[in-house]
Amino acid sequence: MEELDLRDSLAPLIIIDEICKMDCRSWRLIDNGMLLLGGPRTLVATIALYVESVIQLVEQRPDCRLVTVTRENCDPFPDELAIELQKKLRRRGC
């Protein structure tokens, strides 16, 4: 993840899977993530529960939604997320 630079990406949707503790040691990843959260793109990321520093940053932002995926909600969640993302991207004209 260290070499990943998404600041100039033209993609309207960016998905980052499995941000772990080691990734959070990368200032570049953290800077990229904060820039993405403040920008026009939609960011979906999975974060391990034990990465509290990133979770706390996300919880502080009014423009973010944090969802804990459990055994009870893991089956319907992908479809619900897809519908939500489709609506969001349509509103942006994508």
- Please tell me the total count of domains within the chain: 1
pLDDT digits (tens, 9 = 90+) for 12-70: 998 888 887 777 677 666 777 777 787 888 889 888 888 787 888 888 989 888 999 99
Residue 7 lies in a domain: no
Residue 73 lies in a domain: no
Residue 20 lies in a domain: yes
Domain range for 27 is 13-68
Instruction: Yes or no: say if 17 and 46 are a contact pair by the CB < 8 Å rule.
Output: yes
Residue 8 lies in a domain: no
Rounded Cα–Cα distance for residues 71 and 73 (Å): 6
Residue 5 lies in a domain: no
Residue 27 lies in a domain: yes
pTM comes to 0.75
Residue 48 lies in a domain: yes
Per-residue pLDDT, 81: 95
CB atoms within 10 A of CB 94: 13
Residue 33 lies in a domain: yes
